Structure 1
Amino acid sequence: MVVPDIANPFFPAVIKAVETEARSVGLTLLLCDSGNDVAQEADALRRLVDHQIDGMIISVCDRIASRQAVAFTADRLPLVQIDRQTVGGSGYLVGVDQVDSVNRILRHLREQGYRRYAYITAGLEISTARQRLEAFVAHLRSSDPGVERRVLVGEFSIEWGYEATRRLLEAGSGQDEQLPDALVCADDLIAVGAVQCLRQRGIRVPDEVAVTGFDDTVLATASRPQLTTVRQPLDLLGRAAVGLLRRAIQEPRMPARSTVLPAELVVRESSVRSNLPAKLPRTM
């Protein structure tokens, strides 16, 4: 298995799900971290192919730049892409419905009375980041024609969440741009940085500005206030990826197929205004 960033709390959880399922069916997992580097990713794939492994599960660094190395590997052994994927895919894909997940977030925020949104995301070379952004813009374009001006693109990190929020606050302090009342963040790392910046500036979360994350990592409950976030079904994701890979190993000519799983929205304190009480946490 090759992942792009083992320091991101999302990926250890995915790895654990895959390893648990692999062990249960008698498979041994070899793990490589590509360090978000396409060249390092390609080198890891070549080395693993040389070691005559039975199959590969990969979450790619770059939806375009990773294509060549992924295609090289898929021509030589069964390969399943999990969560992130290249343009065109490898033939075997397992992921989560990103569009539905973002729509759940936005419907919840609207129910809570939030009306003006900004989106903070990582680089759009990451397939899931691009899918979430496209879903965000498509959902809001008709009701908020200027929403695309409030999209900030950076990286999956606490530091970027803080910096992007600082920029939004500085833009909102002028006369031409109103401060958003909800920050939709592409993962929990970004959301934690956003909350930190808002709190330091004396802006109350969620009464003045809501913040939502994605992935429901340990950071979501460690944050104060706790984060509303999307919980991806990691156990199912791991089982589906290993199951698909086993079938591909057993049936070398198995046709391409994809598995898309639904996620759930976990509603916590960061998006529920005090004058609109709700049971916490709950899922949607």
Structure 2
Amino acid sequence: MTGTSTPRGTARPTSRDVARAAGVSQATVSLVLGDKWRGRVSERTAAAVRDAARGLGYRPNLAARSLRLGHTRTALLVVPALTNEFFARVYTGAAGVAAEHGFGVVIYPSPDGLGPARDPFASARAALDGVIASSMATEALAAFRGMDLPLVMLDSDPADPSVAARVNLDIEDGMRQVARHLLERGHRRFVHLASAVPSWTFDVRARALATALATVPGTEVRTVRAPFEVAAARAATEQALGDPDGPGGARPTAVVCDGDLLAAGALKAARRRGLRVPEDLSVTGFDDFALATAVEPELTTVRLPAERVGEHGMSALLAALEGRSVPEDDLPVELVVRGSTAPAPPR
């Protein structure tokens, strides 16, 4: 029987075993498994090496390779929270690209993305090759700037010039899409349920919404802020909605939320006020988390391609480590229309 699998009890396969199985040199194996084969080895040969390595169950000795190459092929991903679905998806995208290039990703939370963050590797900076920071305030990154490592920023202020690369979402266009959707359905009285966390991404949402609504005469918008907690969002929305039977018919007809979690609180507030969604009140979110289809009615929201953000961030870090330039085009976002929005009720 022929094959390349390694029987139980035998020694761990080496790069020499892979070379022998693929019919190539050890140098070729190193090029292919180190992802440096393009332009030097044919695609057919590279595929043969990968197949042989996979069949043998070969795993490179990362410790030895790190000593030989002078780096550990490890990236640090800094996020404001581990419990937020957006950052979990960012990690998934980054880790997928990293794995394709023999890198690992260590995730580190810096609460709320505010600063200054503690340096998690104060005594082991050599354990990292670069840092990716998602949705972080500029002042939160002081510790990481001092590490003399490439820094890639995700969903962060483009005015900060001291980074190797940046990957942003077209947040402004997302909020414009929300505003256009509601204005076209006759809404003129709005509540903006904004995040209480000071951050570039939320500042962009506020400016974009105000600018878009100002293009239509007769619009009104009131901004209230809440932490990313359902109960806090519900309380803030209840206060903003006021008495649905109040004088003048001035009750808002739409609540625009900075995130899906805030929108869930807004939906609860509407029910407490005796308002029907979307007949009496339209509600929009921003994220398109799993929560968006778990609530009733399902939430009209802006879909953010979080995994692509992570993928692009890791690719940008790899490019920076190789001395390649990285284009900084914003990733597009998409308004997903569901049951929580409808034409404005008659005055």
TM-score (norm 1): 0.84
User: How far has the Cα of 1:2 moved from its partner?
Assistant: 0.6
What amino acid sits opposite 1:41 in the alignment? A
What amino acid sits opposite 1:224 in the alignment? E
The question of whether the paired residues in 1 share the 8 Å contact of 2:254 and 2:282 is answered with yes
Matched residue SS, 1:205: coil
The question of whether the paired residues in 1 share the 8 Å contact of 2:152 and 2:166 is answered with yes
Aligned residue pairs total 268
Return the alpha-carbon distance in structure 2 between the equivalents of residues 37 and 80 of structure 1.
15
Distance 1:37 1:31, change over 3 A: same
5+ residue gaps in structure 1? 276-284
Return the alpha-carbon distance in structure 1 between the equivalents of residues 319 and 87 of structure 2.
24
User: How far has the Cα of 1:25 moved from its partner?
Assistant: 2.0
What amino acid sits opposite 2:333 in the alignment? A
User: How far has the Cα of 1:163 moved from its partner?
Assistant: 1.6
Structure 2 counterpart of 1:99:
172
Structure 1 counterpart of 2:18:
none
Residue of structure 2 aligned with 1:227, choices 286, 295, 299 = 299
CA deviations 1:173-214 (Å, max 9, x no partner) are 654782210100000010011001111222000111100000
Residue of structure 2 aligned with 1:59, choices 115, 131, 134 = 134
The within-5 A match list for 1:1-284 is: 1-36=77-112, 38-39=114-115, 41-44=117-120, 47=122, 50-63=125-138, 65-66=139-140, 68-73=142-147, 76-85=148-157, 87-91=159-163, 92-123=165-196, 125-143=198-216, 147=220, 150-170=222-242, 175=247, 178-251=250-323, 258-273=328-343
CA deviations 1:50-88 (Å, max 9, x no partner) are 24301111124424x325335334xx0111111234751
Give aligned-pair identity as a percent.
32
Return the alpha-carbon distance in structure 2 between the equivalents of residues 235 and 191 of structure 1.
22
What amino acid sits opposite 1:69 in the alignment? A
Return the alpha-carbon distance in structure 2 between the equivalents of residues 71 and 80 of structure 1.
11
Distance 1:273 1:145, change over 3 A: closer
Return the alpha-carbon distance in structure 2 between the equivalents of residues 70 and 43 of structure 1.
7
5+ residue gaps in structure 2? 1-76
What amino acid sits opposite 1:239 in the alignment? E
Distance 1:274 1:154, change over 3 A: closer
Return the alpha-carbon distance in structure 1 between the equivalents of residues 308 and 119 of structure 2.
29
TM-score (norm 2): 0.70
What amino acid sits opposite 1:104 in the alignment? Q
Runs of 4+ in 1 over 6 A off after TM superposition: none
The question of whether the paired residues in 2 share the 8 Å contact of 1:232 and 1:263 is answered with yes
Higher relative contact order (CA 8 A, sep 6+): 1
48-57 vs 202-211, greater mean Cα deviation: 48-57
The question of whether the paired residues in 2 share the 8 Å contact of 1:137 and 1:147 is answered with no
The question of whether the paired residues in 1 share the 8 Å contact of 2:187 and 2:344 is answered with no
